[in-house]
Chain A
Amino acid sequence: MKKIWYVALIFILVLIALKIFINADIPELEVKNTLGGNLTSKEVKFPPKAKTVTIDGVDYLQSQAQVGRFGGVLVASTIGEGPKTFNPFNTKDATSATMAEMMFDGLVSSRPDTGEVIPKLAKNFEISPDGKTYTFHLRHGIKWSDGKPITADDVVFSWNKILLAGLGNTSTRDSVIIEGQLPKVEKVDDYTVKFTTIKPFAPFLRILGAPIAPKHVFEPAVKKGAKYFDSFWSTTTPPKNFVTSGAFKLKEYVPAQRIVFERNPNYYEINLKNEKLPYLDKIIYLIVGDLNNEILKFEAGEIDTIGLRGSNVGRYKKKEAKSDYTIYNIGPDTGTMFVAINLNSRKDAQGKYYVNPKKQAWFNDKNFRYAIDLALDRQNMVNNIANGLASPLFTSESLNSIYLNKKLTKGHPKDINKAKYYLKKSGFYWKNKVLYDKKGNRVEFDLYTNAGNTEREAIGVMVKQDLEDLGMKVNFKPVEFNSLVNKLVNSLDWDLVIMGLTGSPLEPHNGQNVWYSTGSLHLFNQRPDGKPTKRLPWEVQLDKIIDEASLKITFQDRKKLYDQYQQIIYDEKPIIYLYSPTRVTAIRKKFGNIFPSPLAGVAYNLDEIFIK
């Protein structure tokens, strides 16, 4: 009898403990549904474009944002293992790139509101009327963090000896090869550099935002060869060796804990009172292992800004009124969630088809793809999976892209009858609500995604349900991320896959690895040998448009072509787009000069942000 009392006592203790912890942690569901409307932030007033002001022979960049107070720290976070290198030319992952880009400015950058290319490290630039020559005038008198002047030699060296020489991550080099030729980079005088491409190449101007390295520091490393360069300025390099041009420079890197940047006293930007920016003394990135830990750290006040998703937004929104942070809805982000269909009709080295010929017939049938598209209920996914924090997507360009084809954004609702109509048109028929093709084969295929990604797994379940309404049998198989990549890139033995990729809102040409017929990520019709064989008619068209659009210079000309390209993808549907998540960011109210932008995010102008 006594034992029972002990057990009861412990049970009650546990219950009390749970009650204490869980209290106030369950979001109220009603909040979630009204979020979309509530969150749309007030109209953001961006400061005018930064000007160049010459004081004592130095061409400073003058920020036109409100004058703030100096001092203070901003603590942000990065999820994962932290940077793998601080060498801006070696970065291959987002975290390393963010950290390296903090420290290095490029010749140009983009305006956060319009996406327009504006001079940064350069004072100004001209493009010749034939669109092939870019002349950059550098700022006089600006310095590296160690006090040496930044000159044309640094620019020419960075391009000719590093970027175009194929050191480190060669993706920049590979993207500027036009008809097998690299652009030419020449020094005109100490403060003028000329870039020449053999044909006008539109994406080139933005690519010129690539970091510029200090020649006097990088030259010895470059001379030691590619292998040495790979480990140059790694995470074990003492921070005092870093010589940078950006607003901040590395102060300390503690593996698995944090990265600390301090202000670069030689930075060339000033405020309206001609005081040297940046305002903040330090920027700190805490390295956190996962989302949950990041949220806890934000709640404990250890970090100042956080990207929110899904159910958390509801909880935070509820608390916002009484809290010290503001939540910004920056609109749809560059991420796209989609279902890709494997149109591959090739055989592997052993003479076996990558895709079963019976399935090939379905997947290559446009009506079949239309039926899938029409059967999917995107709004339902947005409401139930993304908690309303997403927008249905029908285009290959993300919704915040400046090249978005606005005619296609409305898309169409789920229409099961129309879907059935398309299937019937191709000779599919139903027997006991089960779908058969005209040869009498039962329609059954696999749907893959990467296991562990709860969002994609949820989408998978919904896609499966929607398609089963059509009588198809869908075997939904979440597999381990690495196995999935192997399937998509090497073994090519998949049917349908749910994936997400991030694009660029400013430069559609970056998507060419996916859309060009020989691209390395041409998922839906991957050519393992990289040769443009057996191109489908619309693939030929896409290739042509991508080539043409890259050679056009004006926005209007390019927009026309990219509209056409989105239209083709919309018509052919090798990839069926589902939705774009909405980006929601919370940042503490104490910071000034915050101008949230769909193109750049919230805390991108670290040089101008200050503590009120």
Chain B
Amino acid sequence: MNILIYILKRILQTIPLLILVSLISFFIIRLSPVDPLAELKLNPSISKETLQKETQRLGLDKPIYVQYFLWAKAFVQGDLGVCSTGESVAAKLKERIPNTLLLTVIVIFLTWIIGVPLGILAAIRWKTPLDRMLTVLTSIGMAIPSFFFAILLLIFAVKTGWFPVGGLTSYNFNDMNLAAKIWDLTRHLVLPTTVLFTISLAGLQRQMRANLLDVLESDYVKFARAKGLSEFKVIYKHALRNAINPMITMLGFEFASLLSGAALTEYVFQYPGLGRLVLEAVLKSDINLVMASLMMGAVMLIAGNLIADILLIITDPRIRVKGG
């Protein structure tokens, strides 16, 4: 029961936060000197009348605060509006979200399934050559800028011809049978996944290692060892459970990055995901589209934190006691 009230409270708290986020982002975008019609204005074949029509259609002839209220009113009613090309924003987001999710879910799955065990391994084998090697590798992973790594891999793809150069599907994708489709998707996903995986793996592995090392130093582990428990039991039954808490918080952040975490890599690989869409929208000051994605980002971050907190309450009796 307490948990439910807690969740409700948290949800209510997000409302003013969202209003604030929307206000700030809306005004920053609109007050920036970006003119959504700049391209048209410099096109000698576009007449004045067409320009006027466009200005009216995009609502640019109204004062900013009116524009904001119009947007907010529609948003509250669940209408994300239309983007500057006249298509519905919701439809545009809908066609990109699955692509981005496909990439990020695979990456998160891989990093967690590989990163956490590697972290544990490194902590147990602390200061052995294995630990050192992992440290060097993860340092490289953390240090390499994602776009640079992505470009290197693209050049690799061009030189070897083993992988397609960016994109998600080949042009004849729709004429393929299922097996060929899966193979095609896999070939396209390998490189972007490698980039994102390398980079987030490093952070996760270091975090897990540090947590476990912390715990391994603590008194109750020493006590458990002194009691004569097997090393396996000490680590997996006592130490690991306590080391996992910060990881749950991290998982909450990972949830937030599901939709927005891969923008740079998406751009370099020409991956048809949200990142590229939003970047192009920002450059054109396509207000409805940008606002929708910013709000989505904010909601995902809040939701991710909420989920992490709830998970913590479930896994950690100490928090439960304090909260109760």
Q: Which residues of A contact B (CB under 8 A)?
A: 6, 10, 17, 21, 73, 75, 81, 84-85, 92-93, 166, 169-171, 174-175, 230-231, 234-236, 252, 254-258, 260, 284, 286-289, 293, 296-297, 299-302, 480-483, 485-486, 488-489, 499, 501-503, 510-511, 513-514, 520-521, 530
Contact = CB atoms under 8 A, between A and B. Distances in A.
A482 B38 contact: yes
Interface stretch (B15-23, B163-171, B246-254, B314-322): B163-171
Interface stretch (B65-73, B83-91, B212-220, B294-302): B83-91
Contacts of A513: 44-47
Interface residues of B, number: 55
B272 to A, nearest CB: 4
Contact of A288 (B87, B88, B140, B270): B270
B35 to A, nearest CB: 5
A277 B238 CA distance: 76
A483 B34 CA distance: 7
B61 interface: no
A206 to B, nearest CB: 12
Of all A-B residue pairs in the complex, the 4 with the closest CB atoms, nearest first, are A256-B272, A174-B47, A485-B38, A84-B85
Given A170-B47, A485-B35, A501-B42, A299 B96 contact: no
A174 B45 CA distance: 10
B9 interface: no
B261 to A, nearest CB: 18
Given A174-B49, A296-B154, A486-B35, A256 B96 contact: yes
B277 interface: yes
A286 B158 contact: no
B185 to A, nearest CB: 12
Nearest to B174: A252
Contacts of B53: 170
Interface string B28-55: 0000011100111111111111110110
Given A171-B47, A296-B154, 5 more contacts: A170-B47, A255-B272, A257-B272, A286-B171, A289-B270
B95 interface: yes
Contacts of B156: 21
B161 interface: yes
Nearest to B92: A255
Given A75-B171, A488-B42, A520 B57 contact: no
A209 to B, nearest CB: 13
Nearest to B52: A170
Nearest to B91: A236
B41 A489 contact: yes
B276 interface: yes
Given A170-B49, A481-B38, A230 B86 contact: yes
B33 A480 contact: yes
B136 interface: yes
B69 to A, nearest CB: 21
B166 A297 contact: yes
Interface in B270-287: 270, 272-273, 276-277, 280, 285
Contacts of B92: 255
B152, B164, B171 interface centre (most CB from chain A within 10 Å): B171
Nearest to A259: B171
A195 to B, nearest CB: 20
Nearest to A479: B33
B164 to A, nearest CB: 7
Contacts of A499: 42
Given A6-B136, A503-B44, A520-B48, A235 B87 contact: yes
A499 B48 CA distance: 20
21 contacts: A10-B136, A17-B152, A21-B156, A21-B159, A230-B86, A255-B92, A255-B95, A257-B272, A286-B167, A286-B171, A288-B166, A296-B155, A296-B166, A299-B158, A300-B158, A482-B33, A482-B285, A485-B35, A499-B42, A513-B44, A520-B46
Contact of B169 (A81, A257, A288): A257
Contacts of B158: 296, 299-300
B152 A21 contact: yes
Nearest to B166: A293
Nearest to B85: A84
Contacts of B38: 481-482, 485-486
Contacts of B174: 252
A520 B95 contact: no
Nearest to A21: B155
Contacts of B277: 256
Interface of B: 33-35, 38-51, 53-54, 57, 82, 85-88, 91-92, 95-96, 136, 140, 152, 154-159, 161, 164-169, 171, 174, 267, 270, 272-273, 276-277, 280, 285
Nearest to A81: B280
Contacts of A258: 171
Given A289-B267, A296-B154, A486-B33, A514 B161 contact: no
Contacts of A482: 33-35, 38, 285
Contacts of B33: 480, 482-483, 486
Contacts of A6: 136
Nearest to B39: A93
Nearest to B155: A21
B57, B86, B168 interface centre (most CB from chain A within 10 Å): B86
A253 to B, nearest CB: 10
Contact of A521 (B39, B44, B96, B168): B44
A499 B38 CA distance: 14
Contact of B96 (A21, A73, A255, A480): A255
Nearest to B46: A171
Given A10-B136, A81-B280, A485 B46 contact: no
Contacts of A84: 85-86
B165 A300 contact: yes
Nearest to B279: A289
A482 B284 CA distance: 9
Nearest to B273: A256
Nearest to A282: B171
A395 B210 CA distance: 69
Contacts of B155: 21, 296
Contacts of A81: 280
Given A10-B136, A174-B49, A256-B276, A302 B165 contact: yes
Contacts of A170: 47, 49-50, 53
Contacts of A252: 174
Contacts of A488: 41-42
B96 A236 contact: no
Contacts of A92: 40, 43, 46, 50, 54
